[in-house]
Amino acid sequence: MSNDPLQHYADQHTTPEPPLLAQLTRETHVQLLMPRMSSGHAQGRLLSMLSHLIKPRRILEIGTFTGYAALCLAEGLAPDGLLHTIEVNPEREARIRRYVAAAGLAEKIQLHIGAAREVLSLLVDEVWDLVFIDADKVNNGLYFDLVIDQVRPGGLLLIDNVLWGGKVLPDYPVKPSDKDTLAVRAFNDRVAQDPRLESVLLPLRDGLLLLRKR
């Protein structure tokens, strides 16, 4: 629960996360380092709502972590829809598959274990309705470049952690060795000026960037 009274109020007026996701949240905080890497309640409900609104046939997620966001995004899949999610860490595979199975989504969520660049080379024939990028921040631009031509007109791209703890602000001192911050700043500036896109940066949690392909 947040210590911010406004955030607490907002959470109280947001649809609760399903019991299975609440269980995954508890398990993540007890058993894993950096549990904040999970999307969590408010962001998860937003991902679910966006997915419901566009009813995607094909979703791509880069960076699965525990599978929380994948389960949220899959809630809005079209009846014949499929979600591909890529996780680089094989130690997370068993937990992801366990929760996907518990959600009854084993036929709807295709988990790929490996480096995103390599997995994406196997998915070049897909047309994406919705893409969620939440992996190593230094490669935001690379992943964007690899998928943007496969996103259909009107499709949605979501990029997480674009506020990067406030380090993106121009007056925040950043060392040249802080490659993640420099990469997030450069990516944010670049896509804001991309004529192919409409953008909205939401100050939700650590920043969620919504991009609509024209």
Q: What is the pLDDT of residues 70-114, one digit of tens each?
A: 999 999 999 999 999 999 999 999 999 999 999 999 999 999 999
Q: What is the pLDDT of residues 148-158, one digit of tens each?
A: 999 999 999 99
Q: Compute the CA torsion angle 142, 126, 42, 184 (nearest 10 deg).
A: 10
- Please give the Cα distance from 149 to 171 (Å, whole number): 34
Sketch the domain layout of the chain as residue ranges: 5-213
Tell if the pTM clears 0.75, that is, is over it.
yes
Q: What is the pLDDT of residues 170-202, one digit of tens each?
A: 999 999 899 999 999 999 999 999 999 999 999
Q: Is the pLDDT of residue 3 over 80?
A: no
**Res 2: pLDDT:** 61
Q: How many helices (H) and strands (E) does the chain have?
A: 8, 7
C-beta of residue 67 within 8 angstroms of C-beta of residue 130: no
Mean of pLDDT values over 131-135: 98
Q: Please name the fold of domain 5-213.
A: Rossmann fold (3.40.50)
